[in-house]
Amino acid sequence: MTPSVGWGVLHLYYRVDRARAEHEAGAGKRIVDAVSSLEADGHQALTLAMLGHKADLGVIALGPDLARLQAFHHELLGAPVEPVSSYVSLTELSEYTSTEDDERARVAREEHVSGDELEQRLAAWRERMAHYHEHRLHPQLPPKRVCCFYPMSKRRASDANWYELPFDARKELMGGHARVGRQYAGRVLQLITGSTGIDDWEWGVTLLADDADALKAIVYEMRFDPVSARYAEFGPFFTGLVLPPAEACARVGLRLDAT
């Protein structure tokens, strides 16, 4: 089953069953083989050795076929692990992304450009946006060293209801929010996926970086932006070290040998 727009994304978190793991030689190989098989089918998976006691092992899986992702999750359950949390979402485009008319007006207003030069600017802009849209809908996750995930929703409080704001006001606020995020380009990869109607929250936020402090810094700074400070509710945070499947399994006590 393939969504009409975007890819499916699963965030899966497990606790190792220590008693079973001690007696199941090659338990980690089941995880490694499941990841290899998924990737061979044109999907992606990141494995994490989790920090803290919420979970031992984390897996982020994404790709075009929801049925294949479900089968992958079922394969992982064959290992001596117990699921403790999961999240289901889809990659998506933001409804607040600038349109070509927005960019045309901005360039004319701020840079006083018109005529052929304006059209050349817009052609370059269209190329950049096509790349951006492709990255949002079909992301290629890089091998960063640490990952944090959390779900979030927009607040509906009587004095701060995001959904009662006019579209133009929401778009302006999100533009400021995005500018904060762009300051971390190159340091933090942000994957924002939609889950309205398919899981308990409205969005899932996955942050990948080589420096754990960058994860803390971007979330802290964004908390001061009105979109977060006034209109956002946050779920639990899951943070782990991104490792090759074999290393992640070894770190959490899932043996790779078959003897």
Rounded Cα distance, 163 and 128, in Å: 30
Residue 150 is a catalytic residue: yes
**Active-site residue (options: 150, 163, 184, 231):** 150
Rounded Cα distance, 126 and 122, in Å: 6
Torsion of CA 80, 85, 90, 94, to 10 degrees: -150
Record the tokens describing residue 115, joined without a space.
């005529």
Greatest C-alpha distance within the chain: 73
- Cα separations in angstroms, 91 against 110, 135, 141, 204, 243: 32, 10, 13, 10, 23
Helical segments of the chain, H only: 18-23, 27-40, 66-76, 100-111, 115-137, 167-182, 212-223, 226-229, 245-251
Question: Between vectors from CA 144 to CA 142 and to CA 149, what angle results, nearest 5°?
Answer: 95
- Cα separations in angstroms, 245 against 58, 182, 221: 10, 31, 32
Catalytically annotated residues: 150
